[in-house]
Structure 1
Amino acid sequence: EYADIVQTVEEIKKMIEEEKQFLPEGVAFSFSNDVSRLVKNRFEIVASNGLIGLILVFVLLTFFLNVRTAFWVGLGIPISVCGVVFLLKVTGHSLDAIGLAAIIIVIGIIVDDAIIISENIYRHFDELGKSPIDAAVDGIKEVFFPVLTTVLTTMLAFGPMFFMSGLMGKFIYIIPLVITFALVISLIEACFFLPSHIAHGLHRSKKKDKENWFIKIQNPFSKMIRLVLKYRYISILGFFLILGGSVLYFTNYMHFVLFPASTAERLYLRTELPPGTSLKANGEKLKEIETLIDKISKDDLSSYVTRIGVLAGQHGYFRPGRNFGTIELNLTPFGKRKKTALEITNILRAQTAKLKGFNSIKFEIAEGGPPVGRAISINVVGSDDAKRKALAGDLMKYLSSIKGVEDIESDDKYGKDEIHVDLNYPVVAKYGLSVSQVANTIRMAIDGMVATDVRYQDEDVDFRVILDKKTRIDEKNIGDLLISNKFGKVIPLKRVAKFTVKPGVDEVRHYNGERSLSVVADVEEGVVTPIEAINKVKAHYNLSRDWQGMKFIIGGEADETAKSIISLLQTFAISAVGIYFLLILLFNSLLQPFYVLIAIPFGLIGVIFAFAAHGEPLSFLAALGMIGLAGVVVNDSLVLVDHINQLRKKFPDKNIVEIVAIGTTNRLRAIIITTLTTVAGLLPLAYGIGGLDMFMVPMALSMGYGLLFATFLTLFLVPCIYAVGDDLIGLFGRKKEQDISHEVKVGEIDSVYQ
């Protein structure tokens, strides 16, 4: 279970090379479904894009601070990543694709904490004129509690994922684990090692007396923030209108899917020929499709495997049958191929539609992620066989009428031919026979009867009398079976029964003890989502009125998507409550935590814009990026609010607008640096500068563009909300706020800043 797939595959290939010398000439090996190549490709992409991002981060930090500070801040990233890999190994976990995604999410937060500390030390040294040691000590002391709180709030944001239920909970369990490890390591490195390295670098450098170039940016920004604060109510209204418009656009024009088809690296083509088709004839028909597949460019197709006599699919789906066939197509990594899985599927769909002799040819795109099943999966459950089959057929017909629903299948497939015996009951009674006599005679002929047994040593061996296979599958011979009636006469079976040969049922499925039929289908991305299709089915059918005794059991991606959305919303809610109480301890206020938390939903505006502009649906992977984005937004807003609080204590008589404007201007450089460095780290991954991996792109887009817009939130919305909050406190009286603060009993925090 915990084997290294890359190492295992390499060992297998090495063994095959050693065994080749013992094989006859002309024998060759070909490898298919080599998942290790995808794993290696993903690691290479993350490594190359990570290196490019690290270089961009270093350049930006050098531009805003200095070379030594940039080096020591950037060094925290590989230290944290290596620490995570080490701790995962120690705790018995492996680093998979989801673990890599978690590292990408947390890198921005790691960099933020280091930048906040280093920038504050640099500010004490460069702007306040302190010695390197004093700048380091005072700088870390001033922001230690806010930085500690940012780490704890991020842990609280991801912590509830440990308790997510269902399949997705097991799938993403590694995310909060990786993030917790990374945050603990980065906190230790940033608070205890980083300040000493920066102080050493400041001591060796010579302070320049020339005007700080960043003041040319701060001065116009200071005027702008004062103007925004002056019209703070209009500004907040504007932000709310933008948020409302974004949500409206999302609900009407955008879709949510668990895992987009663009992440797929495997296709399944399943065929069904008329019942009774031999395996040899089946293989000949599948060669027609293989001829079409051979025309696909080697840049797009890595290999394919044909299975005759079986329907197969992702996550272990397997169903035997002589008239069934499956072709599994393994695609090259996304960044190396010219066509997407959906484009290849559509080309093959159009070509195979011209082939004759097939009952059906269906396609399945194997999206990445856990085994959630097909996009649409509905179990039709009921004891009435005829009604259940009719309802399943009607459901398939209705699904085909929904635009975007395709590759509709049912497990109600014909098996081998059966001989149906229909008794003429009056005639049975006339000849003095009973139904049980007839049934026992047929059973004895077909299944046989144990005539005797012989003991060999310590084992009893039964001797069964049965018709030979050729005789018992011939309806004429079965009709000649003789049945002894109560008068001692023998009656041929054909005198009391009629025989018809019909296709038999391939298999009988049950759901909670009741017979069921399964109807599954896929959806065309961008046209309809699984949830939308299921909602249309629910609205169309009134089972209690029209199909009494029948019921639908929804499963597959649609069901898992609904569960995942609920679990994510619950995670957000639990995280928000936990973060709120933690911020109470930091701010010594019940109101101020809302200044930070209210910025989170506004951060989604940038995410919606990014995915709309790129024509991509919001996915589960994008949602994970949103959680990481929320962590960055909270961190920047938290440090800003804390700094404004410190200024209010230092200058209690100053006007609130002036205090907020000064505090925001002071934090401008740190906020810009954290934004640009995080975006720079994510940009190569989002656009595949160092290699494209569609599994990582949604997270990078979500965090990158979301953070760009979140910067305006932190610089303009949060100060406005802070000022409005002070207006409300002034309106209802400051005494009430002070009484609440005493009830919380966290006054000790004040002494840290005095």
Structure 2
Amino acid sequence: MKLIQTSINRPVGVIMIVAAIIALGFVSLRNLTIDLYPDIDLPVAVVSTTYEEAAPQDVEQLVSRPVEGAVSSLEGLEVLQSQSQQGASLIFMQFSTGVDLDSALLEVREAVSQVSGVLPENAGEPNVLRFDPQALPIMTIGLSGDTPQELQQIAEDQLVPYLERQGGVASISIEGGRTEEVQIEIDRAELAGLGLDAQSIVQTLNASNQAATAGSVDKGDKDIRIRVNGEFESVDDIKDTVITTEAGDRLKLDQIATVEKRIEDTGTVSEVNDETAVVLSALKKTDANTVETADNIRAAMEEVAPDLPDDVQMETVLDTSEFIKVSINSVIMNILIGGLFAIAVLLLFLKSIRATLVIGISIPIAIISTFTLMYFTGETLNVLTMGGLALGIGMMVDSSIVILENIVRYRQLGYSMKEASKTGATELAPAVIASATTTLVVFLPIMLVEGIASELFTPLALTISFALIASLAVSVTLIPMLSSKLLTKAMQDGKRYWFDNLLGKVNRGYQRVLRKVLKFRKTTVFATILAVAGSIALIPLIGTSFIPDSDQGQIEIDVSLERGTALQETEKVTSAISERLEGFGDVIDVHYLSIGSGEMGLAGGSSDRASYTIQLIDPGERERSTREVMEDIDAELQSVVGAEVEVTEMSAGLGTGSPIQVQLNGQENEVLNELADQVVFMIEDIEGIVAPSSSTEDSEPQLDIDVDPSKASAYGLTEQQVISDVQLMFQGQTATRYREDGEEIEVRLVTPVDENSSVADLESAPIRSATGELIPLSSIAEIEQIEGPVTLLRENQQPQVNVTADIGERDLGSVTADVEEELEQLNFPEGYTYEVGGQAQDMEEAFGDLSVALMFSLFLVYAVMAVQFENFLFPFIIMFSLPATVVGVAGGLFITGLPLSLPAFVGVIMLAGIVVNNAIVLVDYINILRRRSYSRYDAILEAGPNRLRPILMTTVTTVLGMVPLALGIGQGAEAQQPLAVTIIFGLTVSSFFTLVLIPVVYTYFDDLSVKISGFFRKRVE
């Protein structure tokens, strides 16, 4: 090949090109974005709307349904889901793959704006945003040491504006703070005596809190604009607001009501390490570097810390960048260990530091070149892409080994250094290119299929592909050039080493095995079939799962009290829990308590729910694993009285939703609730099912007010007037807002606490009739206590109830199969359906996508080999090395106790391209020898032992390069472990079958080829 000859003749040019590539690689590395996992580009949008204090039924009827109706006809919309809970509505829209989400978001905003006017008056403005399941806070900061309102003020005025200006920061949210508001406490009886009501006060306040432009006047040669400023500027302005009574008297507001600033009661509590705190959560921009953004935030915290009050402390509660850095460093360590293993193998086989250096240099060049290609294709440095480099560390030297081995052989035959390099490299370059190409083409289908599997593993596939392309280029350019310069003394024959003697024995033994299998061909094929069949029988025992979770040293505690429990009672329980957590002070770095917070920063939280987020100290500083600590904490907290406590290990896995999720759909919520109860009852005894629950299991006490229209109309009242009066009494009413010292302050009308704290207060709540008379609510309405839903779900504009469950010691696939078997026995009424979702559904879809990718990969591997050999039969010979991989894959997963997961499946696809490489080298050399007039039998006996050395070298370097990942060394290695185990066992076993089975298959296909040729020759004659 001209490229090989040019590289040998012009070494300076090759070295300059390599130097330029290395320099560009280091520049690219500095600019690569670092993250934990690849970005998953899912076309999902969400519309969030607050509806203060509204019950889930009202949220669904008045907010969720109108918004659903507005967006349901959008083009490309596949799934429409809504979640209605107290005070908040969430509408999720999943669009077809390929839809431009930016354009879709514009259409969603336009559709939602058309229904904004029909939403309730006290509903918030619908917020349309892109939904990213990975868009979680990258850092959480605790601010403690002062009152919540002071901490809120410090956070709003000093921290948030400064932190949001830092590079990569998208937004900073605040939780746990308190704000001041002006409360106007009214006496409804006194107001009624003056002929006033709440609405008249609200109207007066709004009219008094106005500013307007009133034209302009001339002053000299200038126009001066006139502005009438009537806005409130202080509480005194509100107190001095003049109220005109029905009799015409003019009174100041503070004469008929109590007006004062008070702290807003949010019903939430936030604590960091048992101290009341305000918590700031930082979100990064979509394309920002997580580690760099977190570093920017930490630097900003250090800069602003001296300006905080002396008694205010600021500390990092959670920092995801730390786990990312530890994970990436672990993978880098695995790359170094794998590289050292590969180099040790080379040194063992080659017996020469120079020869080892010639091949070993291909590893760093391939890695550095990969960084350049990653940068220009927009990939990020993450656990999977770096894991791809660790997985490919052994494969990077395969092509170089085969080329160098042939160069050495020609050198030992007496060729000059240049001629040996040229001839040896040129002879096997086509086979090496074909081998590398078969490995590369298996990744193409992964990139082309749709779904989460492609989103996750395309970056890994690209990374390995880039590394192999770079190593291939090195093997046909740099290796021949370096060999012609450095191997002068290295390849001179000397005394035989112990390893040479060992290889000699292996070669002779292998030659004897070849003679045996060529003599007993049918027995060899039959034994292979039995081995494959036995391995297939193991598959049901292995099981399946989605994606392994990663241990990031975080634990979550969910505390559930009886629905409707007051905040003070919840605080008593959490105090008891916090006391028990003090016993784990040796392993807990920081813990964060949140009571009553809603989802996604919305309303909808409940004072009877609390959660702890615990960050453990570094793994090297504790003897127990995260799971062991979690189990100890769980055992300690199960005896807490008055609450259900669930302790779980937070993972950095990519599973979506619960492992098991049964989605029930139909027309009536009551029927769905009954079906859900039956499903829970049926699956709770399935082995491996943990804590099955229905989304309707949780209910909260609710007082339903049923207004009698005839009685109400007798007093001149409408149902809306009754609702307004009850709302005013029990949740207050926002009258207006004003600005004071740059802060916007809310002005609310409220009633005395002692008038709205009990059921009796509700029954006797005074309702103002048309004549001004105050009548008790119970005289015009029935009041009944019921159990109301906590959350109402809908999918595609139909009610939905979900049954969810975790899994224990069994694999996800087996548990899912048992659940589906139970569900098939359940008789569903007409119009009611079920679907198994959650991680089980994601796993099924991903496995389906990867199965299609595997089929295409096998076809592409065959096509590449058909082109290489210019023959349709020889590729079939080589493809017979593939069934044997089942023996290694099934045996490896069974021995290590790992289920068949997405990473393991990707490993199977990779094997389709890797295991044929040895067979290609072997069959190609048999053909070369036969073209040199060797008989078939002699060619096989010569080619086998001759190619055994490079086959062993490539196999052992590839396998040992992956051993650190297979052992799961370091944090973040869990995702690559099944992939590495699959390749190690699959390649090892397949290599053995390749050396023994492929020569036998070669003879069968050669006989077939002769018969076919003879048949056509006779037809021609």
> Secondary structure of 2:836's partner?
strand
2:433 aligns to what? 148
CA distance in 2, matches of 1:337, 1:734: 74
CA distance in 2, matches of 1:663, 1:368: 49
CA distance in 1, matches of 2:893, 2:703: 58
1:72 aligns to what? 358
The residue type paired with residue 538 of structure 2 is Y
Contact 2:331 2:387 survives alignment (8 Å): no
CA distance in 2, matches of 1:149, 1:334: 45
CA shift in 2, pair 1:376/1:266, >3 Å: farther
1:19 aligns to what? 304
CA distance in 2, matches of 1:418, 1:255: 45
> Secondary structure of 1:590's partner?
coil
Q: How far 1:686 sits from its partner (Å)?
A: 2.9
> Secondary structure of 2:990's partner?
helix
Counterpart check, 1:226 vs 2:515? yes
Identity %: 25
Counterpart check, 1:120 vs 2:406? yes
2:548 aligns to what? 260
CA distance in 2, matches of 1:682, 1:129: 37
> Secondary structure of 2:488's partner?
helix
Q: How far 1:546 sits from its partner (Å)?
A: 4.0
Q: How far 1:599 sits from its partner (Å)?
A: 1.6
Q: How does 1:498-517 map to 2 (within 5 A)?
A: 498-517=782-801
The residue type paired with residue 386 of structure 1 is E
> Secondary structure of 1:616's partner?
coil
1:576 aligns to what? 858
> Secondary structure of 2:658's partner?
coil
The residue type paired with residue 103 of structure 1 is L
Deviates more, 1:260-269 or 1:107-116: 260-269
Q: How far 1:498 sits from its partner (Å)?
A: 2.7
Counterpart check, 1:379 vs 2:667? no
Q: How does 1:492-641 map to 2 (within 5 A)?
A: 494=778, 497-524=781-808, 527-542=809-824, 545-641=827-923
CA shift in 2, pair 1:441/1:468, >3 Å: farther
Counterpart check, 1:133 vs 2:421? no
The residue type paired with residue 922 of structure 2 is L
> Secondary structure of 2:394's partner?
helix
1:244 aligns to what? 533
The residue type paired with residue 260 of structure 1 is P
* Counterpart among 687, 708, 716 of residue 996 in structure 2: 716
The residue type paired with residue 940 of structure 2 is V
2:610 aligns to what? 325
Deviates more, 1:494-503 or 1:113-122: 494-503
| Between structures 1 and 2, the one with greater helix share | 1
Q: How far 1:585 sits from its partner (Å)?
A: 0.9
Q: How far 1:704 sits from its partner (Å)?
A: 2.3
Q: How far 1:478 sits from its partner (Å)?
A: 6.3
Deviations 1:630-675 (A, max 9, x none): 33212111121111122222226x1x33322221121100011112
Deviations 1:187-215 (A, max 9, x none): 21111111110121223446226677544
The residue type paired with residue 657 of structure 2 is G
Aligned length: 715
CA distance in 1, matches of 2:495, 2:618: 53
Deviations 1:604-636 (A, max 9, x none): 322322332223333222333333333321211
Contact 2:335 2:393 survives alignment (8 Å): no
2:477 aligns to what? 192
The residue type paired with residue 649 of structure 1 is R
> Secondary structure of 1:33's partner?
strand
> Secondary structure of 2:530's partner?
helix
RMSD over equivalenced CA pairs, Å: 3.7
Contact 2:434 2:868 survives alignment (8 Å): yes
Q: How does 1:38-437 map to 2 (within 5 A)?
A: 38-65=323-350, 66-126=352-412, 128-205=413-490, 207-208=492-493, 213=501, 214-251=503-540, 253-261=541-549, 263=551, 265-296=553-584, 298=586, 301-310=588-597, 320-331=605-616, 338-358=623-643, 360-412=644-696, 417-422=701-706
Contact 2:696 2:789 survives alignment (8 Å): yes
CA distance in 1, matches of 2:604, 2:945: 67
Contact 1:41 1:333 survives alignment (8 Å): no
Contact 2:403 2:424 survives alignment (8 Å): yes
CA distance in 1, matches of 2:448, 2:972: 32
2:261 aligns to what? none
Deviates more, 1:679-688 or 1:492-501: 492-501
CA shift in 2, pair 1:444/1:45, >3 Å: closer
CA distance in 2, matches of 1:337, 1:464: 52
CA distance in 2, matches of 1:150, 1:109: 11
Q: How far 1:73 sits from its partner (Å)?
A: 0.9
> Secondary structure of 2:684's partner?
helix
CA distance in 2, matches of 1:49, 1:593: 35
CA shift in 2, pair 1:473/1:27, >3 Å: closer
Q: How far 1:130 sits from its partner (Å)?
A: 1.6
Q: How far 1:367 sits from its partner (Å)?
A: 3.8
CA distance in 1, matches of 2:955, 2:622: 33
Contact 1:246 1:605 survives alignment (8 Å): yes
Contact 1:378 1:554 survives alignment (8 Å): yes
CA shift in 2, pair 1:545/1:152, >3 Å: same
After TM superposition, the score normalised by the length of structure 1 is 0.85
After TM superposition, the score normalised by the length of structure 2 is 0.64
Contact 1:153 1:582 survives alignment (8 Å): yes
CA distance in 2, matches of 1:738, 1:627: 43
Q: How does 1:642-661 map to 2 (within 5 A)?
A: 642-651=924-933, 654=935, 656-661=936-941
Deviations 1:154-202 (A, max 9, x none): 2210111112312232222212221232122112111111111012122
Contact 2:548 2:653 survives alignment (8 Å): no
Structure 1: 5+ residue stretches without partners: 457-462, 740-754
Contact 1:406 1:521 survives alignment (8 Å): yes
Contact 1:382 1:514 survives alignment (8 Å): yes
Contact 1:445 1:467 survives alignment (8 Å): no
Contact 2:392 2:464 survives alignment (8 Å): yes
2:227 aligns to what? none
> Secondary structure of 1:600's partner?
coil
Contact 1:109 1:631 survives alignment (8 Å): no
| Between structures 1 and 2, the one with greater strand share | 2
Contact 1:419 1:502 survives alignment (8 Å): yes
Counterpart check, 1:707 vs 2:991? no
Deviates more, 1:285-294 or 1:75-84: 285-294
CA shift in 2, pair 1:376/1:635, >3 Å: same
CA distance in 1, matches of 2:927, 2:583: 68
The residue type paired with residue 75 of structure 1 is I
Contact 1:362 1:407 survives alignment (8 Å): no
2:955 aligns to what? 675
Deviations 1:481-527 (A, max 9, x none): 77999xxx999874665311234332322111112222222101xx3
- Higher RCO, Cα 8 Å, sep 6+: 1
* Counterpart among 968, 974, 992 of residue 694 in structure 1: 974
CA distance in 2, matches of 1:55, 1:361: 48
Contact 1:636 1:671 survives alignment (8 Å): yes
Counterpart check, 1:10 vs 2:292? no
CA distance in 2, matches of 1:475, 1:688: 59
Which of structures 1 and 2 has the bigger CA Rg? 2
